[in-house]
Amino acid sequence: MTDTITPYRSTVPAARDGLPALVRAEWTKFRTVRGWVVAAVVALLLMPLFGLLGAAGSHGEVGGGPGGESRAGHRAPPTGPGGEAVNDGPYFVHRPLAGDGTVTVRVTSLTGVVLPLGNGPGGLGGPAGGGPAGPAGVPPTEGGAQPWAKAGILLKESAEPGSAYAAVMVTADHGVRLQHNFTGDTAGPPGAVTADAPRWLRLTRAGDLLTGYASPDGEAWTTVGTVRLPGLPSSVLAGLFVATPGDETFEQHLGGFESIGEPAAATATFDELDTQGGFAGSDWSGQRIGATGRPGGAPGTGDPLVEGGFDVSRGTFTLTGSGDIAPFVTEGAAAVERTLVGTFATLTVAVVLGVLFIATEYRRGLIRVSVAASPRRGRVLAAKATVIGAITFVLGLVAAAVTVPLGRRLLRDNGNLVLPTDGLTELRVVVGTAALLAVAAVLAVAVGTILRRGAGAAAGVIVLTVLPYVLAVAAVLPAGAAQWLLRITPAAGFAIQQSVVAYPQVGHPYTPVAGYFPLAPWAGFAVLCGWTVLALGLATYLLRRRDA
Amino acid sequence: MSPLGGGRDAGTARDQAGPAGPGPRGPRGLRGPRREADQGSSAGPRPAELRTADLWLADLWLAVRAEWTKLRTVAGPGALLLAAAALTVAASAAAAAAASCPAAGCAVDAARVSLTGVQLGQAVVALLAVLVVGTEYSTGLISSTLAAVPRRATVLAAKAAVVTGIVLAAGTVAALGSVLAGRLILPGQGFTAAHGYPPLSLADGPTLRAAAGSVLYLALIALLGLGVTTLIREATVAVGVVLGLLYLFPILSAVVTDPDWERRLRQIGPSDAGLAIQDTLGLPGAPIGPWAGLGVLAGWAAAALLAGGLALGRRDA
């Protein structure tokens, strides 16, 4: 009862109660209980089952026609140099550039309008990628430029959608930016462009280094940034561009959120254009990137605002365009983690297994035998955690590795647009799912050791790990509260499954309902690990201090 | 333990086994203590159905008292009830503090927001119900219980009655506290009369229905947990099954994109459909009406109780 008692030290040879022997003992305990093995198999099956169920209940909406159900307008977005899905539909006025060169221009205005669809929501895909646009005859509404409407200098590998590029630009609400290859974004001087406060821009190519500059007066230049475009061919296209995302409003309601998208058009005026370096010819040609089969920008829908166009008079260029040049972010597309919706079910079973693994020992009194066999009690716990962690990791890995390709295939067959994911990210999602299950099961063992009561421990761990996820994903809570929950509870670990990236340069509600966790994947996983380490520490302490 | 129930049933068994003697024996004898029943072992011929019904009621009453004794003499259930009420109110208050209505027509269901804590409270209530049956099996008490009350349906009915009663009590506290918290907090979040939100009041029909319905919802969740545990007999597994059942449908319906699928999932899921009782806005477009939704949950609870009851009646304890 006093602190002066020396803890018991076993005299059993280390080889008898070494960790490998204990792990083997715990493994034997696990595999010889038929109910647990059945539960493990059930856990293995639940993930593909719910993944396929979720995929079966999702039919294509992206790029749907006016009815929202048509698959005719379904069109996968191009992929950028990094392998991610992108929007690439700016209006681009260019000349070929061989080797190094510099473009300087003054932007004097950037305005925009919203093009109503006239048939309600349904333009999920927006105007980008050559999708359907508003019918002719509906007058555009004055909505002002979209916050991320862009105008400036673009240097692009080719007119192919998705090809490498770098651009220095002014935006409506986000100042000067230097963007490259869709995902790269560097902020420059803030402030919008007006007739009273025009903005000079300059983009210089030197090898595969591109440098963007901005200036308020054409005299004093500040460097916005330098980007490297490895493998950029010597011969590229360079010139002026205008781009704008569609007008989207989002409304969260119980159970999900709705996005109502309408295409938008932006118009920019440029003057004092100056080109230096290896430019060939003197004729500027304009085209909407991605508008295949319509060379020269011939109207396809009859709406010049949608198709875009340009006009030169006395050195003043006026460009109009309706597509964006940015990463593809839309609610309607399915990310790969959509197929892993069954993780929570497998996790529930894994937690129950983890709790049972220790709680049954207390219920049956087996714990006394266990600690008699291995008086170093911490090792008993370590062996249990190792065994349950390894089992759940393996079954999670198998389940996820089977579910992802099957689910993706079913989603595609149902006409869904599945976002492309690069191999490393997909590996992280699959292995991370397995790790998430393993760590949650270890957390369950620790909490089971602390509480020594199976039902209470299982309820506690499930409520801590699954309930915040449910409340956040099913939009029961407002986005702010949901993000807060997913930062501090073990449910933060679900972030490891997120393959989509929140791009600040694309206006979108990056909320849990839309599949965006508040923490980065590994940071969220670290929160879960932190909880587990704390619980394991407390469990070890209590196991040593208490009578078994 | 249930000494009363045990005595009653021993007496009944003797009654039935004994020879039918002369002399009237009214219902008074049935409710009397055991000694009296033993002395009056000269039961006369009387309508069998009346006797069965009376016996069953008397049995049930004694079994309910036994269950009540079991519940109130251990610390766990009381603590869980307190936790259910406290966590519900706390989570409701937190949700109310996180909600906001910046302008008129923000289409947020104030009653539903102020009763959000039921999402957390239901887990505690489910745990309580699971433990009421689960501990009997984990401690072996079930053998004594069934020896004392051989009619197994009576045991289950008594447990259901007691659990329903205590959950209704705790749920009433939780719902009243939640509505009160919403009434105090929501006006500060922009839910003002100017934005179309009068202060939450139980005098308002839909709000009263949402609050009272939440109490019934919690009771039905408890019955669902009771039935599932009676079927499974292992408390830890039952907790996983019940919570999985509650969380499965909201997650699935958030993932599917087909409106038809989503609607269907919201119509059949126990938690989604049951919580429709809290809706006070957007009712015409809702997947399921408030009372119909609660009816779906009642169906789940009844199915679980039926399955549990059948299993209890056919299996060895």
Which site among A50, A253, A352 would you substitute to test the B interface, given the most B Cβ atoms closer than 10 Å to its Cβ? A352
Chain B hits for A474, Cβ within 8 Å? 250-251, 253-254
Measure A102 CA to nearest chain B CA, in Å.
Answer: 48
Please name the member of B134, B243, B266 whose beta carbon is closest to the beta carbon of A462.
B243
Inter-chain residue contact B236 with A59, CB threshold 8 Å: no
Fold of the domain built from segment(s) A86-326: Jelly Rolls (2.60.120)
What does the alpha-carbon distance between residue A78 and residue A164 come to, in Å, rounded to a whole number?
Answer: 12
pLDDT at A53 over 50: yes
Inter-chain residue contact B255 with A57, CB threshold 8 Å: yes
CA-based nearest residue in chain B for residue A478: B99
Query: In the prediction, which pLDDT does A324 show?
Result: 86
Instruction: Using 70 as the pLDDT threshold, list the residues of chain B that sit under it.
Output: 1-51
Please name the member of B107, B116, B235 whose beta carbon is closest to the beta carbon of A476.
B116
Mean pLDDT, residues A474-503 taken together? 87
| CA geometry: angle A35, A36, A41, nearest 5 deg | 100
What one-character-per-residue DSSP string does chain B give? --HHHHHHHHHHHHHHHS---SS---HHHHHS-HHHHHHT--PPP--HHHHHHHHHHHHHHHHHHHHHHHHHTSHHHHHHHHHHHHHHHHHHHHHHHH----STT----HHHHHTTTHHHHHHHHHHHHHHHHHHHHHHTHHHHHHHH---HHHHHHHHHHHHHHHHHHHHHHHHHHHHHHHHHHGGGGT--GGGT-PPP-TTSHHHHHHHHHHHHHHHHHHHHHHHHHHHH--HHHHHHHHHHHHHHHHHHHHH---HHHHHHHHHH-HHHHHGGGG--SSTTTSSS-HHHHHHHHHHHHHHHHHHHHHHHHHS--
Please name the member of B98, B109, B256 whose beta carbon is closest to the beta carbon of A480.
B98
Mean pLDDT, residues A34-41 taken together? 92
Inter-chain residue contact A463 with B95, CB threshold 8 Å: no
pLDDT at A85 over 90: no
Could you state, in order of their start, the residue ranges of all structural domains in chain A? Answer: 19-58+334-545, 86-326
Q: What percent of chain A has pLDDT over 90?
A: 33
Query: In the prediction, which pLDDT does A135 show?
Result: 41
- Reported as a single tens digit per residue, the pLDDT across A515-537 is 889 999 999 999 999 999 999 99
Query: In the prediction, which pLDDT does B237 show?
Result: 92
Chain A hits for B255, Cβ within 8 Å? 54, 57-58, 338, 341
Lowest-confidence segment of A103-107, A112-116, A456-460, B24-28 by average pLDDT: B24-28
Confidence class for position A13, pLDDT limits 50, 70, 90: low
- Reported as a single tens digit per residue, the pLDDT across A417-447 is 888 888 888 899 999 999 999 999 999 999 9
Please name the member of A254, A338, A455 whose beta carbon is closest to the beta carbon of B235.
A455
Chain A hits for B122, Cβ within 8 Å? none
pLDDT at A144 over 80: no
Could you state, in order of their start, the residue ranges of all structural domains in chain B? Answer: 1-55, 74-314
Query: In the prediction, which pLDDT does A127 show?
Result: 37
Measure A339 CA to nearest chain B CA, in Å.
Answer: 9
Query: In the prediction, which pLDDT does A493 show?
Result: 92
CA-based nearest residue in chain B for residue A454: B236
Range A80-83 contact pairs with CB under 8 angstroms and sequence separation of 24 or more: A80/A162, A80/A181, A80/A182, A80/A183, A80/A327, A81/A162, A81/A163, A81/A164, A81/A181, A81/A182, A82/A181, A82/A182, A82/A183, A82/A422, A83/A420, A83/A421, A83/A422
- Reported as a single tens digit per residue, the pLDDT across A206-244 is 988 999 999 988 888 999 999 998 888 989 999 999 998
Query: In the prediction, which pLDDT does B227 show?
Result: 94
| Tokens coding A480 | 């702010």
Query: In the prediction, which pLDDT does A322 show?
Result: 83
Query: In the prediction, which pLDDT does A117 show?
Result: 61
Measure B289 CA to nearest chain A CA, in Å.
Answer: 15
Query: In the prediction, which pLDDT does B54 show?
Result: 78
Inter-chain residue contact A470 with B251, CB threshold 8 Å: yes
Query: In the prediction, which pLDDT does B164 show?
Result: 94
